[in-house]
Chain A
C-alpha cells in the first residue's frame, strides 16, 4: 500500500477530533447527585419550617421551666438557711407583738407581700409606706400581712388572721409567720424603684417560701449589622484563602423577634426568628486591573478571556432577569434561634450578658445589586444553594433595665456556618459573621 507523508500534528488531529470514549450509567448518577436533583424533590418544606419553629420555642419554654424547678429547690434551701442565720426563735416574737404590728400596718391592696428593713430584732422592725403593686407577683413591699398575697399563699380562707396565725386550722393556707418572719426580716429595704427595674436582681433578693414562681418572659425586637466573611471556597478549603475572604467582606443587616425566658438564677433561654441577609461584595473584583468583566465563574478557577490570570471568586450570581452579574450578591435567610445566656448583674439596672446559640436557617431567596443596572433583584436561582443551614456562635453584651417592663440589650456576636452554602458537592463555602446587635424588649409577664 502506498505511503503518504503526513504531519504528525495532522495525523493526531484527524484521529482524535470528534472521538468518543464510552461511559457507563454511573457517571450520570454521580452528576445528578452533584447537581442536587434529589434535593429538589424534597417536600413538606413549610411543614419543616413551622415544625422547627414550634419545636425550638417549645424547647426554650420547657428548658426555662426545668431550670426554674431546680431553682425552686434552691429557694427553699435558702429560706431555711436564712432562718437559721437570723438567729431568731419563735419565742422572740410573741403572737401579741405580731398582731400589734399588724394593726399599725396600713392595709394594702391584695397582692402585696412585705419587704422589711433589717433590724436587730422583730421588735424594732418597722414597715414602710405601701406602694401600689404592679402585678402582685413581682414587687412586694411592706409587712402587710393583713391581706393575703395574691397567689402567693394558697388559701380559700377569707379570714386574713387565720392565714397569719399558725393555728393549723388551715394547714395549707396559713402563712407561717414564725417561720417566715425571720426570713423576711433578713431582707433589706432598698430603693424599691431600682429593685423593680432589674428583674434579675429583684428575683434573686425575693426568695420566699411558697411564693409563686412566675417566669418573666420578654419579647424583643432586635436589629443587627454584621460583617460577612467567607471562610472557605472552591474545591477545598484552601482555594479561597483569608485574603480573598477579607477582600469580599461585606456589611449586611438582619432583624427579628426574640422571646427571652428568664429564670431565677440569672439564666435565660432565648428563642426567636430573624431575617438575615448574608452576602459578599464583588466590587473590588470588578475594579481590578485588569478588570474581571466577562467570565466570573462561581468559585471556579477561570482562564479569563482577557488572558490575565486564573482567578477565584467566592461566588458569583447572575440576575436571570437582567442577565447581568451581581456586584453585591445576597442570600436572604429566615433563621430560628435557640440560645442560653447568663446575666451577671452589676448595679441595679445593668447586667452583663454572655450567651451561646444555635441558629437553623432557611434560604428564602437570593439576589443582589446588578453591576450593569445598579438595581436590586431577587432573581437568582436558589436551587444552587442549600436551602437549609445551621450556624451557631457566641454573644457578649450588656442590658439595661429602662423600666419594669422595658429593657434594652446590646451585644456583639460571632457566628459560624456549620454546613456549606452551595448545593454543589464540589464547592465548600461557608460564612463567618461578626456583628453587633441591639434589641428592645418588652415584658410580657
Chain B
C-alpha cells in the first residue's frame, strides 16, 4: 500500500501537510487546484496570470496551513487565501487608482439588473469566463467579490482601499456591461 493511500481523509492530509509531507501536499494540490484555478481565473485577465496566482496562493497555503483551525471548511479557507492572492497579484500588475470625487459625481448606482434566461440556455463555462475576463479590472474584481463571493461593499472598500460608493458604482457598471455582452454576443437577456 502506497503512502498516499494512507492519507484518506482531509484531516490526515492537513496534518501531513503541516509536517511538509510532499505526498500530502501533492494530494491537496491535485484535489483543489482545478477549483482554485477557476477562482483565480475570475480575477485575472488571462490564464497565465491565473496560474501564477494559483502558484503563489498554494505556496501561502502550504506555508500557513498550520493556522487552519477548522472553523470553516478547508476549501473555503483556501479559496479565501486564493482570492486575496489573486487581488494582490492584480494590484502588483497594475497601478491601482481609486476613482476620484469628480469621476464619482457622474456615476449613479443602478438598480439591480435582472436578465431573462431560458432554463437550459446555451452558454458554456468558457464563455462565462470570457465575459468576466473582458470586464475592466475594477469591474471584474468588484463584481466577483460582491456577486460570487458574497462580500459586502464595506468589506470590498477596505480591501481595495476605495470608498463604498465607488464599490457600488463599479458593481452597477459591471452588471450593465455584462448584460450588454450577454445580449450582443450570446443573445441572452
Contact = CB atoms under 8 A, between A and B. Distances in A.
Interface of A: 1-9, 11-13, 15-23, 27-28, 30-32, 34-35, 37, 40, 235, 295, 297-298, 300-303, 307, 310, 318, 320, 323, 381, 383-384, 424, 426
9 contacts: A5-B115, A8-B179, A12-B147, A13-B147, A13-B148, A15-B125, A31-B59, A40-B22, A297-B64
A34 B59 contact: yes
B88 interface: yes
Given A21-B37, A32-B26, A302-B84, A6 B117 contact: yes
A424 B114 contact: no
Contacts of A20: 34-35, 37-38
Nearest to B174: A8
A410 to B, nearest CB: 41
A23 B128 contact: no
A7 B113 contact: yes
Contacts of B175: 8-9
A3 B34 contact: no
Contact of B59 (A9, A12, A16, A35): A35
The secondary structure that dominates the A interface is mixed
**Interface residue tally of chain B, by bracket?**
35 or more
Interface of B: 18, 20, 22, 25-26, 29-30, 33-35, 37-38, 41-42, 47, 50-51, 54-56, 58-60, 62-64, 66-67, 84, 87-88, 92, 112-120, 123, 125, 128-129, 132, 143, 146-148, 155, 158-159, 175, 178-179
The secondary structure that dominates the B interface is helix
A11 B118 CA distance: 11
A282 to B, nearest CB: 16
A364 to B, nearest CB: 18
Contact of B120 (A1, A7, A301): A1
B18 to A, nearest CB: 8
B42 A16 contact: yes
Contact of B112 (A4, A7, A383): A7
A417 B110 CA distance: 56
Contacts of A9: 112, 146-148, 175
A426 B38 CA distance: 22
A427 to B, nearest CB: 9
Given A3-B117, A6-B117, A8-B175, A320 B66 contact: yes
B35 A424 contact: no
Contacts of A34: 55, 59
Given A4-B116, A22-B34, A383-B20, A27 B54 contact: yes
Contact of A19 (B38, B92, B159): B38
B116 A3 contact: yes
B115 A16 contact: no
Contacts of B132: 12, 16
Given A20-B34, A301-B88, A32 B22 contact: yes
Contacts of B62: 35
A2 B55 contact: no
A166 B47 CA distance: 92
A4 B30 CA distance: 38
Nearest to B42: A16
B38 A8 contact: no
Contacts of A18: 35
Contact of B22 (A3, A35, A295, A323): A35
Give me the 7 closest cross-chain CB pairs, A-B, nearest first.
A20-B34, A9-B147, A21-B37, A19-B38, A3-B116, A307-B158, A37-B22
Contacts of B34: 20-23
Nearest to A427: B59
A9 B35 CA distance: 20
Contact of B30 (A7, A22, A28): A28
Given A15-B128, A16-B128, A21-B34, 9 more contacts: A6-B115, A20-B38, A21-B50, A23-B34, A27-B54, A31-B55, A301-B84, A303-B87, A320-B66
